[in-house]
A and B are shown apart, each in its own frame.
Chain A
């Protein structure tokens, strides 16, 4: 296991900057997830760590060794690809042992290692098959097996689960989590699936336009997004952004909310809104913070109950999403399926602003940090 330091890494093709100075450092055994929209540079960063692409500037250190100019094979890295990239002409066994063979490991040792990996991933019965004879899930396992066999210092996963169907994806996700717990490996993992990101990561790096927008634990990123982009990117359904006028009541800035009636919502850090009184800001409120009135929350400081008109309901089983409109913005609320809410009717909903965040409308900057 090794730590990884990405020190001010820049990469450009001609005048296009793909990576604009990335700084990430992860401890040995840590599970880092890179998320971001396509084209944000996460794959380029991944390839740079692996040595498959040169960087223009900056350094990459693995286990405190500068590997910026080391060729991929000497970095002691294994990678699991989105397409699995299994060698089509080789059997599963040969696929797993190829890396060992290239490193001149004797045949007997290779066999032992293949067996160990096969047992660990339960692919023992597939060893003599060719990739074309495997199902998607099996290929995925083999791809992981190939990475595990070499016991490298660092694992890179490039959207490894995105080609699986929903059910298998959940299974494999759990499996990867277990493997990481068991082996304590250092992993860098690219995904665009936020549930994967939330469930697997020790830390998440949210990227956009070749820059790290925020680096933190899943909970930090979820509860305390650094800016509008991160807030909107993480979470499903996405955080509601409500254009809200800051009004002053008894000398305290509050947030005005207009439905069929108008109320003012309290905000945990009113002092951060001082300069915005009379102006409109963006209030960020996760769907689960807008619910049916819950008796146990009644009377808590940042809870407000008001009337809203139901536009559409989307039953999701455990919850029902209620679409409504406040301050002329469409918002999602998460309610108990038992709560009566018919399209067109006016119902009471509870707004919990204890975890609300506010952003500047233009720049997307977080105002209450």
Chain B
């Protein structure tokens, strides 16, 4: 827009308009920032200060006790070892689940886009529905299945569940990306004597970096942030951090320690926030280009 105003003297009205624009943007930005700032401030106060001060009043001195407590000794439901074990559980679930679902998605997308066979498009449509079903419809049958497989209440079980219901999305991402690869590339490679896996490994994967980054980020945030599967399918000591956090916040032995709650919440949010801050550019690009454009 503004290139239209270049070379034109900006009038007073324009200036007022710009100031109003910036004001609105900054006010809105503070709305988005406020909860995080409040969490951070609260986590650094002691309980007394929380009681006497207000949300935005700064702590007189920095207290890191609440962070230590949240990490290693706060009570979450039955046990009192902080959220650190659950934080590690989450990693144990997320890392294999992300890797397996991304790999499967890549191969599926490769087949659906470049090795079409009768029924592959129909299957893709069926899979697409899988992206959108409310998981409530599969909760109970899945709980029974995990029991039969002997992986109920284990991190393995959660990895399995996340892979099963993540593959729809990862396939969608890769399929949309590979749609733009000309089929002639595969034909050329076949004539050159390369087979199914050679083509995938030597020609397709090397150009897939952008979509791999996007998929990994997406899956990482989805699985890390999951609560429903965590609460439905995990045992006491295999809970992911979101479930533990919720237990911690909703456990009330004696006085409510908001500073510990907040510290725990920030800890639980850190990995995804870090991913977002460091790789957010790809995340946005991928969400808008890959996920949404059918």
Contact = CB atoms under 8 A, between A and B. Distances in A.
A and B touch in the complex (CB under 8 A): yes
Contact of A102 (B182, B198, B207): B198
A87 B190 contact: no
A351 to B, nearest CB: 47
A232 interface: no
B191 A77 contact: yes
A58 interface: no
A192 B195 CA distance: 32
Given A87-B203, A89-B207, A72 B185 contact: no
B254 interface: no
Contacts of A85: 182, 184-185, 187-188
B203 A73 contact: no
A103 B184 contact: no
A71 B194 CA distance: 11
Given A52-B187, A83-B182, A102 B193 contact: yes
B239 to A, nearest CB: 42
Contact of B187 (A50, A71, A90): A50
B207 A103 contact: no
Contacts of B203: 87, 89-90
Interface residues on B, range: 10 to 19
A166 B188 CA distance: 26
Of residues A71, A87, A99, which shows the largest number of chain B Cβ atoms within 10 Å of its Cβ?
A87
Most A CB contacts (10 A, CB to CB) among B182, B188, B206 go to B188
B190 A52 contact: yes
Nearest to A74: B193
A273 to B, nearest CB: 49
A88 B208 CA distance: 11
Nearest to B198: A102
Interface string A61-97: 0000000000111010111011101011110000000
Interface string A25-61: 0000000000000000000000100101000000000
A83 B203 CA distance: 16
A98 B198 CA distance: 11
A204 to B, nearest CB: 24
B189 interface: yes
B48 interface: no
Interface of A: 47, 50, 52, 71-73, 75, 77-79, 81-83, 85, 87-90, 98-99, 102-103, 146, 150
21 contacts: A47-B187, A50-B191, A52-B187, A52-B190, A72-B190, A72-B191, A77-B191, A78-B191, A81-B184, A81-B188, A83-B182, A85-B184, A87-B185, A87-B188, A87-B189, A87-B202, A89-B203, A98-B189, A102-B192, A146-B188, A150-B192
Enumerate the 3 nearest inter-chain pairs by beta-carbon distance, A residue then B residue, closest first.
A102-B193, A99-B192, A89-B206
Given A73-B191, A81-B187, 16 more contacts: A71-B190, A72-B187, A73-B193, A75-B191, A77-B191, A78-B191, A79-B187, A83-B182, A83-B184, A85-B185, A87-B188, A89-B206, A89-B207, A98-B189, A102-B194, A150-B192
